[in-house]
């Protein structure tokens, strides 16, 4: 057990003080955790990740290219920003490609439960990637951000499909192989 009083006076580190090494303002535990999450990103064939600055991994872009479903041949960019409080707080994710989708709005806000109310530190970035991929395979009209898209999806799949195609063409999300 530790005994403060019995410890001899600490080596006075007057000389060392001139060194004045300032500590960075991120916790290393958070950095380590992020490095681990990032180096284990499970991108498969439908995702790719781009880092504008390899030395600043708190900001990156994930491209999602669904290979089946309504959004097949589309390419959608999501900007990830990792807060310094990660993994206590979830990453901030915005969709940077305009898309006609029940759960993504005009501003690129994404309605995915684990990005907000259901986030837990035990989840990893991969959980979010899976969630995004799933959104393109199975849009969820019960939790709409884009109501128009949700209603169309529910009421008229063919019209919805056409509208998606149109929007993908307009926004340049179409990605020809």
Partner 1 sequence: MSQGKDEGKLEDLYLITLRNGPFAHESFSPSEDLLNFLWNECKVLVVGAGGLGCELLKDLALSGFRNIEVIDLDVVDVTNLNRQFLFRQQDVGKPKAEVAAAFIAKRISGINIKGHHANIYDQPREFYKQFNLVVAGLDSIDARRWLNETLIDLVETNDDGTIDVSTVIPLIDGGTEGFRGQARVIIPKMSACFECNLDLFPPQISYPLCTIANTPRLPEHCIEYASVILWPQQQPFGAGTKVDGDNPEHVKWIFERAQERANQFHIQGVTYRLSQGVIKHIIPAVASTNAIVAASCANEAFKLATYIANPLNNYMLYNGESGVYTYAFETERREECPACGRAQPKKICVSPKWTLADLIEVLREDTELRVKSPSLTVSSRALYYSSPASLEQATKENLPQSLDCLLEEGCEIFLTDPALPLGRKLQIFFHKCSKKNK
Partner 2 sequence: MMAERYDRQIRFWGEHGQAALKDCSIYFLVVDDKETSWRDLGRNFFVDEDAVFNHRFRADTTQRLLQELNDEVVGYSQTVSIDRFLKEYSSEDRLLPIFVCCSLDEQILLKTSEFCWRHQIPFVYAVSYGLLGLVRIAIPEHCVWDAREEMVAQELRLSEPFEELEQYCNNFPLESLDDANHSLVPYAVILVKAFKAFMDSHQGRRPETREDQEAIRLLLRSWMRTPTEENFMEALKHCHFIWMKSLAEPNESLQSILKDYKTEMEGIQLQVDRKDRNLKFWILVAAVKHFVIEDGQGKLPLKGSVPDMISDTESFIGLQRVYKKRAEKEHRIIYQRAQYICKQVGLEENFLSPLEVFEFCRNIRSIAVMRYCSLQDEFQNNTVLKDALKSCLDRNEEDAYFYIAFRACLQFHHQQGHFPGQVMNGSLSSKEPSLLDYEQDYIQLAHLAEKWCKSCDIVKNEKLDATLREMCRYGGSELHSIAALTGGVAAQEIVKLVTKQFRPLSGWFIFNGAQSTSATVSLCTHI
For partner 1, the binding residues (CB under 8 A) are 1-11, 13, 16-17, 19-33, 35-36, 38-41, 43, 48-51, 54-57, 84-85, 88-89, 103, 105, 107, 109-111, 113, 115-117, 119-122, 143-145, 147
Longest dimension (CA), the chain: 80
Q: Which residues contact 104 (CB under 8 A, 6 or more apart)?
A: 95, 110, 111, 135, 145, 146
x-or-dash string of contact with partner 2, 40-59, rule CB under 8 A: --------------------
Determine whether 111 is an active site residue. yes
Residues of this chain, 123-142, that bind partner 2 according to CB under 8 A: 141-142
64 to 2, 59, 68, 107, 175: CA distances (angstroms): 53, 16, 12, 18, 11
Q: Which does 176 bind (CB under 5 to 8 A by kind): partner 1, partner 2, none?
A: none
Q: Which does 64 bind (CB under 5 to 8 A by kind): partner 2, partner 1, none?
A: none
- 40 near 46, Cβ under 8 Å? no
- CA end-to-end span of the chain: 66
Enumerate the active-site residues: 111
Q: Which residues bind partner 2 (CB under 8 A)?
A: 141-143, 150-151, 154-155
């Amino acid at each position: 057990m530790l005994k403060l009083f019995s410890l001899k006076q600490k080596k006075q580190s007057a000389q060392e003080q001139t060194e004045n090494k300032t500590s960075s303002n991120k916790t290393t535990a958070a950095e380590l955790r992020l490095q681990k999450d990032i180096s284990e990103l499970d991108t498969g064939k439908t995702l790719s990740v781009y880092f504008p600055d390899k030395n600043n991994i708190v900001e990156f872009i994930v491209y999602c290219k669904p290979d089946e479903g309504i959004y097949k041949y589309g390419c959608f960019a999501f900007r990830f920003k990792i807060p310094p409080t990660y993994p206590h707080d979830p990453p901030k994710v915005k969709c940077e490609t305009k898309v006609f989708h029940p759960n993504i709005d005009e501003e690129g806000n994404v309605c995915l439960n684990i990005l907000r109310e259901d986030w837990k530190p035990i989840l990893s970035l991969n959980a979010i990637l899976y969630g995004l991929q799933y959104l393109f395979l199975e849009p969820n009209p019960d939790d709409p951000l884009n109501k128009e898209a949700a209603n169309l999806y529910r009421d008229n799949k063919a019209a919805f499909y056409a509208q998606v195609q149109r929007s993908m063409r307009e926004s340049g999300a179409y990605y020809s192989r």
